[in-house]
Chain A
């Protein structure tokens, strides 16, 4: 009796301590979740903070008098003359209208550096295509130089170093006030390929490259993945070789992606002599990489089709293949599609194997076919992130936002498909 009451005493006395422990344990769990979700939040905030200015371009709008004497150009259709002509002079002249204080040659040169490096070729192309514009005054919107752009967007931000001289800063302030320098939505980002100049660089080339690569991946991985899943679930005999195939698929799902790059390099490029840095090879490598994901999820989808359906079809005389083609695959299709979309989203974000097969080249032109040299969005991000120029870091963050938008919408599509189409038996 006394023994029992003393035991109860011990328990009662320890209760406080145990409840405290319980609360502490619970707190640890909450802290862990907080750390994980907080990191995600910081990651997004950091990228949006760095990248939102990438969607803004800085332009200088000038009334340029295309004076033939100033440019040393009488005939814009003559290629020799064009190559000798001075297309910068009219731009500087137009700037001088706004900044009359720049008079010496050195000051004029400084003034000319406010517009981007491609401004002169913009004037040249304009005249080449419209020779009648010679000796007229045109309102042209130029991209500002990267230094001007950085100054306009980030003056006062200690993370950015301003590389303009004090005089130039004053001029830029004046031009901004007059509305000559303005910022607007960066359509360049979505309409051009890579460039050496951040303000002139875009992700269109990378997006098209990604699209071409993904098409190849989809064309291979989707049918092959489904066929493999159907074979393993419906036809495979119970033997050693089937087990071996299954072990292989499970292991391939966990092989580091860079190993697939080695495979592509050695087999597709080395053995079959395919060209480097083309979407076809990239797509094939990514297809091999995503196949296990697609096979595993397709098998799960096939498994979830109830046996009664199969038995009913067999009962009315369908062959095994007819059962599979007419009933099992259509019923499992939503699940298969979901798995495929998730696999494709994975492939879309993959970088490492593509580095090895040479999709890291600096490519200005937007690719037009499966055998054109191309790069993809994640690789473009990698290239820009490794650049030392601040303008490219901004662009890399903007490109990350575009990439994440693509991936999130693909995953959302997969979730929607699953909710909408998947049947619960």
Chain B
């Protein structure tokens, strides 16, 4: 039976267990003179039965479904004659896909070597066995769990406590999922990154100035190794982010100041949500706008003044990204400007300063740490942004500071290296994970510093 069918089946069993335990608890209570003589309401006995039925069964189901594929693959590979054992992960995946194609009937077994055909029938066999065992085991566990709960329907047992403890543990697991996700991110990039640095030295990665992750088809080809210097990617990322911040910081900051200090209530209540809309627009839409409207416009404009511009310029991507992060800067600045105590404002105005002088000389310096925190958060958003640069910035890893040329970024390279068919185990694929690690570390540092600054600033005025 398929996993997809087992899941609803287990849930149905849990409902049945609930109903049975409910009736049983009433039956137990009846001779004692009603449910008030039970330690808990019938609902709790029933809920406990449902939990006992579903949770162990679902855990087993998830574990089995998660690992059966890998284990079966391992057994199938091990069953092959020793001399045909794959030497690399790439070869292994090739052989496995051949075997699974034969097993699925897409490939005629007569056209493949005998050991592959043998392995295919073994695979088919193992898969159907695994399916059957899984179904039997899961159903058995569900029924056993329900049966156990059934025996525990007794007046002196407080089922409510059991149910509440279990629920509390479930809540805890859900909260801990955030930790698991972080751990998952770290481990998923760390393994591949370590493997990458086994081939390419760390110093070359960090200080190399050329990036061309081409791995050759033949080992003796020119440039077979590829070059993995991250400097051009980093300068590209920084160039685009810098352009974005040059747009976003003044625009965001000044709009926040205007909205919080000058605008009438009506203007504020319409302008603010519209401004926030900029943050809600999907990045692919910005990418489309940058690539198909802004980039050609900049190219034509540059040609008009006699400059040469690439059709995928850093400027186009940066400008559009800047517009995208305006709301991050403005809403965070708005928060910190409003957090400055009104007494400081009143004091300055009472001394005869104009509103703009108060803003520039009193409020802005007081709010500066918070604003810097907000800018750092916006910068981390800009560095990690993918779709705008994938669509508008190009792939060529130029080491340049000219915003009219096309540059590439860390995120663009991750996306292009991992989209489509991948060669397993090649330095090219692994390099994407190394870049991911780099991106993760940089954005994490920026976020930690920014959050710390913002929090410290808030405490100052509370």
Contacts and interface: CB of A to CB of B under 8 A. Distances in A.
A371 to B, nearest CB: 7
Contacts of B217: none
B215 to A, nearest CB: 19
A230 B289 CA distance: 41
B176 interface: yes
A251 B447 contact: yes
Given A29-B254, A252-B182, A255-B384, A291 B283 contact: no
Contacts, number: 263
A28 B414 CA distance: 39
Nearest to A378: B284
A321 B164 contact: yes
A425 interface: no
B31 interface: no
Contacts of A352: 283, 386-387, 390, 411, 415
A332 to B, nearest CB: 14
A11 B351 CA distance: 12
A319 B391 CA distance: 55
B168 A321 contact: yes
Contact of B178 (A236, A249, A397): A249
B258 A26 contact: yes
Contacts of A11: 352
Interface stretch (A30-38, A82-90, A148-156): A30-38
A180 interface: no
B178 A36 contact: no
Chain B interface extent, by class: 35 or more
A286 to B, nearest CB: 12
Interface stretch (B117-125, B202-210, B433-441): B433-441
Contacts of A346: 280
Interface string B101-135: 00000000000000000000000000000000000
Interface of A: 11, 18-19, 21-22, 25-26, 28-33, 35-37, 39-40, 43, 46-47, 50, 223-225, 227-228, 230-232, 235-236, 244-245, 248-252, 254-263, 265-267, 270-273, 288, 291-292, 295, 319-321, 345-346, 348-352, 355-356, 358, 360, 370-371, 378-379, 381-382, 385-386, 393, 396-397, 400, 403-404, 407, 411
Given A25-B360, A36-B255, A47-B288, 6 more contacts: A22-B354, A32-B251, A36-B252, A352-B411, A382-B387, A396-B288
The 6 closest A-B pairs by CB, nearest first: A256-B384, A29-B258, A349-B282, A266-B188, A273-B69, A32-B254
19 contacts: A18-B354, A32-B252, A35-B251, A43-B286, A50-B292, A228-B177, A231-B168, A232-B175, A235-B171, A245-B175, A257-B386, A258-B414, A259-B439, A272-B70, A351-B283, A352-B386, A352-B411, A385-B287, A385-B288
Interface of B: 4, 66-67, 69-70, 73, 160, 163-164, 167-168, 170-172, 174-179, 181-182, 184-185, 187-189, 191-192, 250-255, 257-259, 262, 271, 274-275, 277-278, 280-289, 291-293, 323, 326, 330, 352, 354-357, 359-360, 377, 380-381, 383-387, 390-391, 411, 414-415, 418-420, 432-433, 436, 439-440, 443-444, 447-448, 451
